Amino acid sequence: MTTAMDAGSAGGSAGLLDKENIVAGPGFNRWLVPPAALAIHLCIGMAYGFSVFWLPLSKALGIKESIKCGPEIGFFQELFVTNCDWKISTLGWMYTLFFVFLGLSASIWGGWLERVGPRKVGVVSACCWCGGMLFSALGVHLHQFWMMLLGSGVIGGIGLGLGYISPVSTLIKWFPDHRGMAAGMAIMGFGGGALIGSPLANDLMKKFATETDVGVVPTFVVMGLIYFVFMICGAFGYRIPETGWKPAGWTPKPAQANNAMITQNHVHVSRVWGIPQFWLIWMVLCMNVSAGIGVIGIASPMLQEVFGGNLIGVAKKIGELDKAQLTAIAGVAAGFTALLGLFNIGGRFFWASISDKLGRKVTYAIFFVLGALLYFSVPSSATAGNKFLFVGAFCLILSMYGGGFATVPAYLADIFGTQMVGAIHGRLLTAWATAGILGPVVVNYMRDYQLGLGLPKDQVYNQTMYILVGMLVVGFICNLLVRPLDPKWFMTPEQLAEEKRLAHEKVKASEVHTSGSSMAAAQATPSSPIVLVLAWAAVGIPLAWGIYRACITAGKFF
């Protein structure tokens, strides 16, 4: 696939999607690139909020109540069954496939991204993510779960991976003076996608629901089409800087004691599997994500089981509450979950930006040390019945969970250079796929094990917290061992020049356009302030709406 596309670019005039046609000319405002990245990440970030569909889909046939499958219907039969509803546990496999294929696709096609540029990858991502949603809509209509797994899980998961990595190297090259902040702006959008998508999906399903339809099919169709428009606009908003471009007045600092971790050289993606520092950072991300993602999945039931009636001022354990009281504490727990989502998003931008000042290694050290202390404190605050200390600890933990995602691209750029950082980041995301299985398995297994021992529900999470502390200790040690690379791993000047040639990089944008063409004139035209305002409004207004809705839900906790 890569060879054919590259050959197509080399022969004849470059097309709209080719890397040669997205080199920014003089006067281009680099602040137009972050909203393009956000437009894509805010759409694919709905993967975090897909659980909003589980309950309606579990009643797709029964509408009011699920039509349960007989005991003879196993998982593989559920893929094709048409006369009974899917279990929520079965639907959860879509969520698992999202992140498995995100990691796999980012790893496999990261090198292709560096060759063809972010616009082409962004368009392919839009086709996969939105096409997958439309195919899933057909699967719901025909009641064929295999179509939903293939559509959203596999095809959509590939779109997730490509969309996730599409802006990383581009933003880092546009903001060499603020690498962490630049990556944080885009990856913040991935965390914010569910804040927009979940309430939007709920509103649409309510609108489309009838006596004979739960409203999921038209909701998938409408959201798929809306997302396609936003993602295509984002992809066409991508521009890459000329080779050697740097911000006005900014000069790279020479390697000194205070920034010895930042290299001016570059590593080829094909070599990273054999570099110890890559695997150390892989473990750093895996441990940070495993600890955080395990908590996300149990946040709501954990709060309810630990505090029970105390959440609504009733001195009873959860097993002693009536139906009305259970409904009331479920609303409080929903506020807790929304609060965690807000800290997850804010942490992505905050910690990534702070890492530009503190350095990536120090920032991760803070994640692990502070995170371990917070996890260790949770059993004590639970025993004392102090819900605000309990909730505050998890809010900080989730901010560092999100911050870990946003900081790691800049960490990679510091250690391995910027030439192929998007591809290297793609390979590192296999750590996310691993953590997506490891974290929930550890947390859920330990909960079931503690319940099996006869522990009360308000105490079953204590041992789990200590295991998560152990994960963070492992991450801390791995981070401590990260050192600057041996020069043998870097590309030689000749190898770097060849890689830049293969990546279609040009010294000046004018080298790839005829001076009299309309494309050249467009590239050379300074960016309009009006366009900048409109671009940020296009992503800022939906994000503000999502945050507003989340704040209303979070208010239930207080």
pLDDT band for position 258 (cuts 50, 70, 90) = very low
Classify 368 as helix, strand or coil. helix
Q: What is the pLDDT of residue 9?
A: 41
3-state helix, strand, coil in the chain (%, to 5): 75, 0, 25
Q: Give the residue among 380, 390, 294, 382 at the shortest CA–CA distance from 336.
A: 390
253 class by beta-carbon count within 10 Å (0-12 exposed, 13-18 middle, 19+ buried): exposed
Query: Sign of torsion, CA 6 8 522 166?
Result: negative
Single-letter residue type at 176: P
- Tens digit of pLDDT for each residue in 155-203? 999 999 999 999 988 999 899 999 999 889 888 999 899 899 999 999 9
Q: Looking at residues 302-320, what average pLDDT do you find?
A: 84
Per-residue HEC secondary structure of 69-121 comes to CCCCCCHHHHCCCCCCCCCHHHHHHHHHHHHHHHHHHHHHHHHHHHHHCHHHH
* Predicted confidence (pLDDT) at residue 4 exceeds the cutoff of 60: no
**What does the pLDDT average to over 342-349?**
93
Using alpha carbons, select from 267, 339, 333 the residue that is nearest to residue 486. Answer: 267
Architecture per CATH, 13-244+528-558: Up-down Bundle (1.20)
> Does the pLDDT value for residue 46 go beyond 80?
yes
513 or 553: whose pLDDT is higher? 553
pLDDT tens-digit map of 64-104? 888 998 888 888 888 998 999 998 888 888 888 888 899 89
Q: How far apart are CA 187 and CA 408, in angstroms?
A: 11
Mean pLDDT of 139-149: 95
Dihedral, CA of residue 238, residue 240, residue 245 and residue 247, to nearest 10: 20
Give the domain 259-492 fold.
Answer: Growth Hormone; Chain: A; (1.20.1250)
CB 165 within 8 A of CB 106: yes
Range among 229-243, 379-393, 456-470 with highest mean pLDDT value: 229-243
Count of other CB atoms within 10 angstroms of residue 282: 21
Q: How many CB atoms lie within 10 A of CB 61?
A: 15
pLDDT at 526: 72
> 515: which 2 tokens?
């001076």
d(CA 251, CA 214) in angstroms, rounded, equals: 58
DSSP symbols for 181-193? HHHHHHHHHHHHH
> Full-prediction pTM beyond 0.85?
yes
Helix (H) or strand (E) holding 244: none
Higher pLDDT, 400 or 441: 400
pLDDT surpasses 50 at 329: yes
- Where do the structural domains in the chain lie, given as residue ranges? 13-244+528-558, 259-492
The three-state secondary structure class of 23 is strand
Same fold, 13-244+528-558 and 259-492: yes
Residue 259's CB is within 10 A of a number of other CB atoms, namely 13
For the stretch 491-547, pLDDT in tens is 999 998 888 887 766 544 444 444 444 444 445 567 788 999 999 999 999 999 999
